[in-house]
């Protein structure tokens, strides 16, 4: 059985993955700063700060992959992004390098959020971050690239769209990632014999998706389609006002926008 480190196990995505894996298909090392409740037979608790290199090294030693879901998920203060999305991530990569562990890194659509909604892109399009948070994800993709090129650490960077139980606004017709598709996507990252360095769009098989996948070495085949909810959500405006309707990053792109051209 594979041993998987799941950081951010109490977070939005981490807690769903933990539940999806409650059948014991993986030996799980769970990390978070929040309480994680009782451990199942296939789980062990590893409370600690990921910025601590010694702790991180112990956490990853002997693991097959780290699914690194810890981090700040919104455009908060720069200092917090630096501590949790930059420094902690670097520490995880150092440990992955020391112990030859594959990394599943949750990047975000906000790394490319300033593309207009009329544009379709693939994973090789130039980055166009929509926020400091988006920039922190570009940094993460940069670390992943560096650690593969220089140290051979394999990574899949997931540019996650909108991870929701069900889509609830019209932007989600393009960006929704269902819970079952996320589980399948992460398992593809873990199980693929080789991944090298790969960026994958974390998006369901939405008819109106903006993001196309040119290379798919992990065999991700999403099944959900936000179009099934179109009658209910097509008229629900995206949060963030009219500007959020213009850019793929939605509300993140609208914050502090002052470009009159
Ligand atoms: C993200 O990266 C955020 O973490 C999440 O809160 C959502 O805003 C999501 O993207 C999205 O774009 O819907």
Show me where the domains of the chain are located. 3-253
115 included as an active-site residue: no
List pLDDT tens digits, range 176-202: 999 999 999 999 999 999 999 999 999
Question: How far is ligand 1, taken at its centre, from the CA of residue 61, in Å?
Answer: 31
What per-residue confidence (pLDDT) applies to 66? 98
Q: Which atom of ligand 1 is nearest to the CA of 171?
A: 13
What per-residue confidence (pLDDT) applies to 111? 98
What pTM did the predictor assign?
Answer: 0.97
Residue 109 in contact with ligand 1 by CB distance below 6 A: yes
Residue 136 in contact with ligand 1 by CB distance below 6 A: no
Residue 261 has pLDDT above 80, yes or no: no
- Average pLDDT of 229-244? 95
Buried b / exposed e over 131-146, threshold 16 CB at 10 Å, is: bbbbbbbbbbbebbee
CA distances from 252 to 75, 79, 201, 238, 243 (A): 8, 18, 18, 11, 10
- Average pLDDT of 120-131? 98
Catalytic residue among 115, 133, 201, 220: 133
Residue 260 has pLDDT above 90, yes or no: no
Question: How far is ligand 1, taken at its centre, from the CA of residue 75, in Å?
Answer: 10
Q: Cβ neighbours of residue 63 under 8 Å, at least 6 residues apart?
A: 3, 4, 5, 29, 99, 101
Which residue has its alpha carbon closest to ligand 1 atom 7?
162
Residue 224 in contact with ligand 1 by CB distance below 6 A: no
Residue 71 in contact with ligand 1 by CB distance below 6 A: no
Which residue has its alpha carbon closest to ligand 1 atom 8?
162
pLDDT bucket at 76, cuts 50 / 70 / 90: confident
Residue 73 in contact with ligand 1 by CB distance below 6 A: yes
Q: Which atom of ligand 1 is nearest to the CA of 250?
A: 12
List pLDDT tens digits, range 144-165: 999 999 999 999 999 999 999 9
Q: At what angle do helices 88-99 and 132-151 cross, to 10 degrees?
A: 20
Residue 75 has pLDDT above 80, yes or no: no
Residue 175 in contact with ligand 1 by CB distance below 6 A: yes
Question: How far is ligand 1, taken at its centre, from the CA of residue 73, in Å?
Answer: 7
Phi-psi region of 236 (alpha: psi -120 to 50; beta: other; left: phi over 0): beta
List pLDDT tens digits, range 201-232: 999 999 999 999 999 999 999 999 999 999 99
* DSSP code per residue over 124-162: TSPP---SHHHHHHHHHHHHHHHHHHHH---EEEEEE-E
Residue 135 has pLDDT above 90, yes or no: yes
Q: Rounded to 10 degrees, what is the CA torsion of 106, 132, 247, 118? A: -60
Domain 3-253 has CATH 3.40.50.720: yes
């Amino acid at each position: 059985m594979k041993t998987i480190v799941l950081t951010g196990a109490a977070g939005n995505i981490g807690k769903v993955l933990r539940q999806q894996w409650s059948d014991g298909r993986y030996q799980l090392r769970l990390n978070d700063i929040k309480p994680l409740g009782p451990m199942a037979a296939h789980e062990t608790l590893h409370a600690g700060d990921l910025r601590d290199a010694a702790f991180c090294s112990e956490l990853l030693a002997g693991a097959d992959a780290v699914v690194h879901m810890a981090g700040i998920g919104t455009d908060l203060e720069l200092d917090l992004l630096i501590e949790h999305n930059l420094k902690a991530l670097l520490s995880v990569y150092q440990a992955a390098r020391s112990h030859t562990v594959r990394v599943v890194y949750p990047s975000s659509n906000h790394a490319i959020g300033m593309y207009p909604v009329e544009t379709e892109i693939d994973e090789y399009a130039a980055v166009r971050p929509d926020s400091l948070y988006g920039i922190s994800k570009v940094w993460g993709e940069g670390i992943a690239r560096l650690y593969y090129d220089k140290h051979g650490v394999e990574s899949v960077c997931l540019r996650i769209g909108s991870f929701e139980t069900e889509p609830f606004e019209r932007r989600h017709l393009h960006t929704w990632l269902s819970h079952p598709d996320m589980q399948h996507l992460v398992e593809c990252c873990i199980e693929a014999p080789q991944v090298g360095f790969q960026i994958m769009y974390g998006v369901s098989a939405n008819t109106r998706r903006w993001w196309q996948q040119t290379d798919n070495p992990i065999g991700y085949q999403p099944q959900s389609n936000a179009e099934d909810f179109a009658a209910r959500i097509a008229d629900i405006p995206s949060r963030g006002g009219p500007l959020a309707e213009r850019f793929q990053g939605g509300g993140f792109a609208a914050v502090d926008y002052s470009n009159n051209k």
